[in-house]
C-alpha cells in the first residue's frame, strides 16, 4: 500500500512560496512553510533548506512549444559518436516487417480471438522512426517524427496518467479503494467484481468478469485450446493473478470517465499535453459504440489501446515530450504537472508480475533491456512502439515500429562514455 497522491498538495503550497524561499536563501537562512490543519497527513511544518530551493531553480533544459527541441552533438551529450550511430542504424534496420496497413496487422495478430471485429479507427502507419534524448537535449533523430500514427498500448501509460490526476485532485481517495464505491452502473455489482480496487485495474490483476462495448472479457487473448470452455473460465480472486486484457483496460477508462464526468482526452489535454507544449495533432479515440450519457451530455469513452482500433494517435515528438515529463519526475519547468510521488508509485512492481507497474513496464531483473538499470521503465505498444525512461543515465529513447527495444537500448547505453 502506498500513500495517497493528495500529499502533493504540499508541493503546490511550496511552489506558491518559492519566491520567499529564494529570498531566504540569499540571506543564508532556512525557512519553514506552515501547513493548515487537515491539509496533509505530513507533519504540520516542513523545513526547506536553501539548497532544496536552489535545486528547483536549476538550469534543467525543457523544450519550447511543439516543433522546438534543442540539439547537442553526441560528444557533447557524453556519447561515443560512432557507437551511437551504430545504435541508430540498428534501429532503422529493425523496422517491423509486418504490413503497414494496421487493420490488416490487427486481424492477422488477433484473428484467433472471438469477437475480434475492429470497431475503432485505424490507419496505415509510416516507417520506423525515433529519438534519443540525453540531459534533455535531442542527440539523435531519424525518420518522420512528426507523423501521427497509432501507438497501441502505449496508450495505457497515458490512461494511468489520467488516473494519477484523478487521485491527486481528490476525485479518487486511494488506489486501494474499491471501484464499486465510485462506479455504480452495475459493472462492479457482482460478488466477484465488487472486490476490485483501482490498483487491480492499474496492474491488470482484477480478473473482472463481464462485457464492455460488445467485447466479453474472456475473448481477449483466451487461454487454452477449447473455445467452448473460454466463456466459463475459472474466476481468480482480484490481485492474485495477472492477465493482459484490453477489455479490463477499457473498463478503467470507462470508470474514470464516470468519476471525472469529462472526456479523458480533454482532461489529458488541459492537465498534461498543453503544459508540456505538445502539438495539437494527437487524438485519443474510442469505438463506434462507446458513447455514454453523463448528466445529460453524450461523451465517448476512449480505449486503452488499438486492439480493436482506436486508442492514441500521436507523433513521436509528442511522445518524447510525454516521456520527458516522466524523466523529470513530473516537473515541467517550474510547474509540478504530475505528483513526483506518482512517478515513484508507477514503478512499484506488481506482486504477481514484477516487471509491470501502473501500466508501465519495469526493467525488473533486466526484463526490458539487460544493460539498463532496474530503475528504468517504459511504455510499450504493439508493433514496436516504445517510450523508454532511464533516470540513472538521464536518458530517454522513443521508438516507433521498431520491435527491438532491448537491442537498441543496450547499444545506446554501450555508447555512453560519461
Tens of pLDDT, residues 293-330 = 999 999 999 999 999 999 999 999 999 999 999 999 99
Sheet hosting strand 385-390, strand order edge to edge: 137-142, 129-134, 395-400, 385-390, 377-381, 361-362
Judge contact between 66 and 282, C-beta under 8 A: no
Q: Is 217 exposed, middle or buried (0-12, 13-18, 19+ CB in 10 A)?
A: buried
Beta-carbon contacts of residue 169 (< 8 Å; ≥ 6 apart): none
Judge contact between 24 and 33, C-beta under 8 A: no
Dihedral, CA of residue 281, residue 286, residue 292 and residue 296, to nearest 10 = 10
Cell of 390: 532511464
Rg (CA), the chain: 22
- pLDDT band of residue 167 (cuts 50, 70, 90) is very high
22-50 mean pLDDT: 30
- pLDDT band of residue 9 (cuts 50, 70, 90) is very low
Q: What are phi and psi of 412, to 5 degrees?
A: -65, -45
Judge contact between 418 and 142, C-beta under 8 A: no
Check whether 31 has a pLDDT greater than 90. Answer: no
160-177 mean pLDDT: 98
- pLDDT band of residue 418 (cuts 50, 70, 90) is confident
Check whether 163 has a pLDDT greater than 70. Answer: yes
Judge contact between 362 and 344, C-beta under 8 A: no
Dihedral, CA of residue 87, residue 93, residue 95 and residue 100, to nearest 10 = 150
**Residue 56 Cα to chain centre, angstroms:** 24
- pLDDT for 102 equals 98
- pLDDT band of residue 2 (cuts 50, 70, 90) is low
- pLDDT for 41 equals 27
CATH fit for domain 59-418, picks 3.40.710.10, 2.40.50.100, 1.10.600.10, 1.10.220.110: 3.40.710.10
352-378 mean pLDDT: 98
Judge contact between 80 and 415, C-beta under 8 A: yes
208-237 mean pLDDT: 94
- pLDDT for 58 equals 77
Q: What are phi and psi of 286, to 5 degrees?
A: -115, -145
Dihedral, CA of residue 249, residue 174, residue 184 and residue 231, to nearest 10 = 40
Dihedral, CA of residue 231, residue 300, residue 117 and residue 163, to nearest 10 = -60
- pLDDT band of residue 346 (cuts 50, 70, 90) is very high
Check whether 38 has a pLDDT greater than 60. Answer: no
Rounded distance, CA 372 to CA 392, Å? 9
- pLDDT for 46 equals 29
Check whether 33 has a pLDDT greater than 80. Answer: no
253-277 mean pLDDT: 98
175-202 mean pLDDT: 98
| Residue of 118 and 38 predicted with greater confidence | 118
Rounded distance, CA 214 to CA 115, Å? 8
Residues in the chain: 418
Check whether 56 has a pLDDT greater than 90. Answer: no
Rounded distance, CA 124 to CA 3, Å? 43
Check whether 101 has a pLDDT greater than 90. Answer: yes
Amino acid at each position: 500500500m502506498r500513500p495517497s497522491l493528495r500529499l502533493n498538495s504540499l508541493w503546490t503550497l511550496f511552489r506558491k512560496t518559492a519566491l520567499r524561499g529564494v529570498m531566504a536563501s540569499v540571506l543564508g537562512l532556512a525557512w519553514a512553510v506552515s501547513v493548515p490543519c487537515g491539509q496533509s497527513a505530513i507533519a504540520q511544518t516542513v523545513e526547506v533548506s536553501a539548497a532544496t530551493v536552489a535545486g528547483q531553480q536549476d538550469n534543467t533544459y525543457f523544450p519550447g512549444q511543439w516543433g522546438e527541441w534543442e540539439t547537442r552533438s553526441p560528444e557533447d551529450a557524453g556519447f561515443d559518436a560512432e557507437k551511437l550511430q551504430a545504435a541508430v542504424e540498428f534501429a532503422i534496420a529493425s523496422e517491423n516487417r509486418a504490413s503497414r496497413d494496421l487493420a490488416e496487422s490487427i486481424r492477422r495478430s488477433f484473428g484467433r480471438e472471438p469477437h475480434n471485429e475492429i470497431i475503432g479507427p485505424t490507419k496505415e502507419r509510416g516507417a520506423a522512426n525515433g529519438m534519443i534524448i540525453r540531459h534533455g537535449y535531442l542527440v539523435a533523430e531519424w525518420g518522420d517524427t512528426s507523423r501521427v500514427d497509432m501507438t497501441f498500448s502505449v496508450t495505457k501509460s497515458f490512461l494511468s496518467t489520467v488516473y494519477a490526476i484523478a487521485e491527486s485532485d481528490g476525485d479518487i481517495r486511494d488506489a486501494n479503494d474499491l471501484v464499486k464505491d465510485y462506479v455504480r452502473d452495475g459493472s462492479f455489482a457482482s460478488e466477484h467484481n465488487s472486490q476490485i480496487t483501482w490498483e487491480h485495474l492499474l496492474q491488470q490483476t482484477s480478473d473482472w468478469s463481464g462485457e464492455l462495448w460488445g467485447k466479453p472479457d474472456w475473448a481477449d487473448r483466451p487461454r487454452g485450446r477449447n473455445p467452448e470452455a473460454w466463456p466459463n473460465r475459472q474466476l481468480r480472486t482480484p490481485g492474485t493473478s495477472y492477465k493482459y486484457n484490453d477489455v479490463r483496460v477499457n473498463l478503467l477508462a470507462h470508470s474514470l470517465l464516470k468519476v471525472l464526468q469529462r472526456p479523458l482526452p480533454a482532461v489529458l489535454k488541459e492537465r498534461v499535453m498543453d503544459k508540456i507544449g505538445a502539438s495539437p495533432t494527437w487524438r485519443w479515440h474510442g469505438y463506434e459504440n462507446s458513447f455514454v450519457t453523463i448528466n445529460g451530455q453524450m461523451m465517448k469513452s476512449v480505449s486503452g489501446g488499438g486492439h480493436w482500433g482506436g486508442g492514441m494517435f500521436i507523433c513521436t515528438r509528442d511522445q518524447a515530450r510525454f516521456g520527458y515529463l516522466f524523466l523529470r519526475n513530473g516537473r515541467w519547468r517550474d510547474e509540478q504537472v504530475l505528483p513526483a510521488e506518482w512517478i515513484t508509485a508507477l514503478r512499484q512492481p506488481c506482486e504477481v508480475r514484477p516487471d509491470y507497474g501502473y501500466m508501465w513496464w519495469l526493467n525488473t531483473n533486466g526484463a526490458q533491456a539487460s544493460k539498463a538499470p532496474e530503475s528504468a521503465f517504459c511504455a510499450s505498444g504493439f508493433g514496436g512502439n516504445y517510450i523508454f525512461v532511464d533516470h540513472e543515465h538521464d536518458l530517454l529513447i522513443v521508438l516507433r515500429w521498431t520491435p527491438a527495444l532491448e537491442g537498441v537500448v543496450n547499444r545506446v547505453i554501450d555508447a555512453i562514455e560519461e
